[in-house]
Every structure is written in C-alpha cells, then in structure tokens.
Amino acid sequence: MGAAGNQLSALLYIPAVATAETPQPAVLAVHGYINSRETQSGFAIELARRGFVVLALDQTGHGYSDPPAFSHGFGGPDGLRYLQTLAFVDASRIGLEGHSMGGWSSLMAAQAMPEGYAAMVLEGSSTGTFGTAVGTEVFPRNLLLVFSLYDEFSQLMWGAPVPRDIRDTEKLKSLFGTNQSVVSGRVYGDIEAGTARKLATPAVTHPGDHLSREAIGEAVDWLQHILGPSQPLASNDQLWFWKELGTLVALAGLFILVFPLGNMFLASTMLSVLKGPVPANRGLTGRRWLTSAVLTGLIPILTFFPLQASAELWFPANGLLGQSITNGVVLWLIGNALVSAALFSLWLKFGDGVIGNRDQCGLGGIREFGHSLLLAVGVVGSLYILAAIVDFLFLTDFRFWVVALKLMSKAQFYQFLVYLPFFIGFFIILDVVLHTQLRLRAKTVAEAMCVNAVILALGFVALLVVQYVPLFLGGTLALASQPLLTIVAIQFVPLMILVGCISTWFFYRTGSVYPGALTNGLLITWYIVAGQATQVVPVLS
C-alpha cells in the first residue's frame, strides 16, 4: 500500500542469499510509460542472479497498480520505502534503476529520500524534461546514464534532436560537472562522495534498451561496482534472453491456439450452425484490386499520427474512457471505419460491386451475430483462462519485448467493456471490405490469410522504415515530433498480421464476418487496454 492509500503492484525477486541474518543490497527497477513490471525482467533477472533483491514495480496507473498514472511520484517513493522495510535488504545499499519515465520515478524516490539510496541508473531517461531539469553535479547520487545512439526521445530528454549530440548539451555537461563534451565510458566525479557519473551509449533504440546485452550489462556492472552484491558476475554473463525467448514462444503459441479453439467451438452442437458456405466472390480484380488494397493499407498509415495526436484535444481521458493512448487508438479506428465505409458505399453505388443482400457481404442476422459472439467469448475466454493459469504458476505473462498479453486489473476490465464496442464496430467494417471488395479469386485459405495479413501490416512496416532510416543514418526520425506513437506503431505490425489471419480463417470457416470480427474485437481490446496507462480513475470501477 502506498502512503496515500493507493495499492501498488510489483514483482519481488529474492535471491537465496538474502535473509534477515545476511541482508543484501537491493534495486528498485521501474518501467517506462505504457509498459509494466515485466518489461524490466532483463534487468531484474541479471541483478537477482548477482545477489540483489529486486523490486520490479508497476508505476501508478500501469499494470496492476491503482490509477491514475503520473500520481504519487509515479510510485517511486512508495517503492523505495517498501524496500527499506524488508528485513533481508541492506537499507544502506539500495540502488534505483528506471527506464524512460521510470527514470523520473527513480528521481522522485531520490528526492523524497535523499539518503535512502546509494546509486542510480537512468536508462533512456533524463533528470527531468528539458524545461524542468533537476540534475546537478551532486544530484542524483552516483549516476549512470544509459542513452542509446538511436534513442527516439533525445529532444524531449536532453534537448538534442540527434541522440548522439546529447553529450554536447549544457544540460548533460552541467550534470557531469564539465564544460567539455561528455565522453562515453569515462567515469566523472567520485563514488565515495556520491558524485560519480558515467555515460553509456549502446547502439540501439529507446525500447531496444530492454533487449540490449550492452544496456543491461552497463546497468548491472555499475550497480554491482557501487553496491557490492555477494555474488558478483561479469557484466557479459547474462541469460535473461532465454526467458525472453521462452515467453516469445508462449506468446506465439497463444495466438496460434485461436485456430484449434475455433475449430473446437465450431464443432459443438450449439455453434455448428455458424458453419456455412462462403458467399460468391464479386470483388475487384487486376489493377483495381491492387489499387484498393494499397488504399486499404495506406489510409490507416496516413491517419495514424494525425488522428491519434488529436485525441488529447478531441477525446481526452475522462471518467468513462480513462486511457489517453487507447482514446487515440479509438479515434483512429473511428476515422478509418468511416472512410472505409464511405469508399465501400461508393464502390457499391458507382462501381461494379454487385451485392444483392447483406448475406453476400458476410453479414447475417441477429442470431448469427449472437452465435458468433458466443464463439468469440469462448475462444478469447479460453485464452484468458490460460493466461491466468500461467500467471498463477509462473508469475509471468505472454510477452516478447513490449508486445504482451497480460491479465487485466479490475479497473482495466471495466475499461475493456467500455472500449469494446468501438473495436468490434471497426473490425466488422474492416472484414466486410476484406472479404467482399478485396477477396481474391481461386485462393486457398492459407494464401488468403497471408494476403490479408500483408494488406493490413505492410503499411505499418513502410511507416517504420520511413521513420527509422533517417534516425539510423545519424539524424532524427523522419517525423521527429512523434517518437511515442512511432514506438506504438511497432506493436501494430504483429497485431495486424494476427488480425488478418483470424479474420480470414473464420470467414472461410463460416461464410460470415462476425466470428472473426468479434474474436479480433475481444482479443485486441484486451491487448490494448491491459497494456496502457490509465490517466483518469474510471467511474465504473
């Protein structure tokens, strides 16, 4: 429980050497914005292997910690206080480690308890945003800054448009107590006096810190050197990636399980009525098909930044819809659904789209919708039960990097119910377009799945290429004002591949758009809501 009566969630890693008789050094590890405690598992695993007690915290409003986000020092002060109460922790040897906004959580903890920690690691973070910097030559104590050569947030964090140029900013030079360009790898100041500083610059991106042996190794080496754990290991002695590989295989398996589960439920007496013939194909062919496919993939990309960035003005977080990022996604879905519906209607009216009735679009009646909803609830509900079993047995979620399917908190479940209709509506319209106007002739189900997955995901791949090539060439993102949404777009590549496969498979099994659209609606709403920050406490919770 936090000091304000709010509940915080964390994973506590306790090495066997940590007992009341032999207390060990500890580290508070905090993830960044719209992530959760599991994101820091690479750091936590390696620190725990070396004898550190590690508290991997869900920031306020993230994961299973109470909303709202950004409150109570992001949860940092409460996390540090909790570590200090543990009998098996040596309170004189506590370190703080935070990635991105988690670094600001560490700073809040350090400001609340200036004598409560001995060292700090900021990963892809800063000592406050450019206009509100709090760092000096003596604060924070014994600081390692890991800031990658391709970090998308260099302007926000250090006032440098190009990441490698942060070493020449007055903000960083003042922090390091020098009037010269800061040299990566060099230790400045004095550890005994608490003024030590070091800059490390691994060749990865901002979210890439979580998958970087160098970024993790630098953090481990710094904290190990200053806090002196009982089981020191070389910084390159790492095995966290095996856990990451394991949960990647589990995540892929969970998504693949959608299809045998779908078969199982469709074979049941109640839901077998959904199995029907696929409507006759009256879609586009040749160049017209290609043009329409390109537009279907291109329009969502052209609207991705403008609509989501506008959400803060048109669709801010509120007591009913309390997640800012999810509101942006919903506004983007609404915009694209309206455009898709309009273009589809024009095709029916002025083109050669000969559709006699709604069944030819895969749109059945209310009974078909009801049976499809039961099917979708059965499939996605089974996945949720499996996620709950895995969480209970292994205290982990289905994850690779920042792509994670995790259980929902009570507040998130209420948000899930409120956001769900928007997602379902979008996927119904999308499926009608995919399986009426854009359905290819004489293709197998597997081929159709691949084609539709490419249509939906290729635009996001192109967007990321356009954004990142200038950054990797030593400059900035092509649209430098949107680092956060660019990182969010990375997740849409696997998600849209999954959406295309699920939608197509269910359509060819049932001849209806409802089973795939409803399954995607439940699954993607769960994914989005459980992985976002909640800025406003939901009224319904």
| Three-class DSSP category at 205 | strand
Compute and round to an integer the Cα radius of gyration of the chain: 25
Query: 291: closest CA among 347, 219, 245?
Result: 347
Q: Are 96 and 80 in contact (CB under 8 A)?
A: yes
Rounded-to-10 torsion of CA 373, 375, 379, 380 = 0
Which H helix or E strand runs over 387?
A: helix 366-394
Contacts of 77 (CB under 8 A, 6+ apart): 3, 108, 109, 112, 113
pLDDT in tens, 399-448: 999 899 999 999 899 999 999 999 999 999 999 988 888 888 767 899 99
For residues 479 and 8, what is the distance between their CA atoms, to the nearest angstrom?
36
Q: Provide the pLDDT for residue 116.
A: 95
For residues 30 and 103, what is the distance between their CA atoms, to the nearest angstrom?
7
What DSSP letter does each residue of 429-440 carry, written as one string?
HHHHIIIIISPP
Q: Are 153 and 177 in contact (CB under 8 A)?
A: no
Q: Provide the pLDDT for residue 350.
A: 67
pLDDT in tens, 318-362: 988 999 999 999 999 999 999 988 888 877 776 655 554 455 666
Query: 28: closest CA among 15, 4, 51, 44?
Result: 44
Query: 353: closest CA among 283, 299, 419?
Result: 283
CATH architecture of 10-238: 3-Layer(aba) Sandwich (3.40)
Pairing verdict, β 119-123 and 143-146: parallel
Alpha carbon distances (Å) from 72 to 3, 59, 66: 9, 9, 11
Tokens of 286: 């040749």
Could you give the percent of the chain with pLDDT greater than 70? Answer: 96
Q: Provide the pLDDT for residue 360.
A: 63
For residues 464 and 460, what is the distance between their CA atoms, to the nearest angstrom?
6
Amino acid at 255: F
Looking from the CA of 79 toward its CB, the CA atoms found within 13 Å total 39
Q: Are 122 and 110 in contact (CB under 8 A)?
A: no
106-133 mean pLDDT: 90
Query: 374: closest CA among 531, 510, 527?
Result: 510
Q: Provide the pLDDT for residue 355.
A: 52
For residues 341 and 14, what is the distance between their CA atoms, to the nearest angstrom?
55
Lookup result for tokens 């956001």:
419
For residues 207 and 148, what is the distance between their CA atoms, to the nearest angstrom?
10
The reply to whether omega before 232 is within 30° of 0 (cis) is no
pLDDT in tens, 482-541: 999 999 999 999 999 999 999 999 999 999 999 999 999 999 999 999 999 999 987 766
Lookup result for tokens 């509120």:
318
Q: What is the mean pLDDT of the chain?
A: 92
pLDDT in tens, 139-165: 999 999 999 999 999 999 999 999 999
Looking at the chain, the domain(s) classified CATH 3.40.50.1820 span 10-238
Using alpha carbons only, give the angle 350, 352, 354 rounded to the nearest 5 degrees. 105
pLDDT in tens, 213-267: 999 999 999 999 999 998 999 999 999 999 999 999 999 999 999 999 999 999 9
Q: At what angle do helices 324-350 and 410-432 cross, to 10 degrees?
A: 20
Global pTM reads 0.93
Tokens of 137: 């030559």
Tokens of 371: 């049976």
Whether 364 has a pLDDT exceeding 90, the answer reads: no
Q: Are 81 and 26 in contact (CB under 8 A)?
A: no
Tokens of 512: 């209806």
Query: 272: closest CA among 368, 180, 182, 397?
Result: 368
For residues 204 and 208, what is the distance between their CA atoms, to the nearest angstrom?
5
Q: Are 50 and 24 in contact (CB under 8 A)?
A: no
Return the DSSP state at 92.
Answer: E
Query: 487: closest CA among 88, 7, 192, 152?
Result: 152
Looking from the CA of 132 toward its CB, the CA atoms found within 13 Å total 6
Q: Provide the pLDDT for residue 124.
A: 96
Whether 465 has a pLDDT exceeding 60, the answer reads: yes
Tokens of 197: 């500083």
